[in-house]
Amino acid sequence: MEHVPGSWFTEAASTAQQQGAGNLLRVVLIVMVVGSVLAAWFLLRGYKRDD
């Protein structure tokens, strides 16, 4: 199998069409939760006091 840049995206898109929106929705939700946790950590770490 030859590696073609960007082929993972077309393969994922064709797989998503075959399997429906369930897996795509699951991935989007996981990314949103992880992103929210990282954003909260990044914003709240500035409130730490080193007295």
pLDDT at site 46: 80
CA 8 to chain centre: 15
pLDDT digits (tens, 9 = 90+) for 8-44: 667 776 766 666 678 889 999 999 999 999 999 999 9
pLDDT at site 31: 97
What is the average pLDDT across 3-12? Answer: 67
* Whether the predicted model's global pTM rises above the 0.75 cut: no
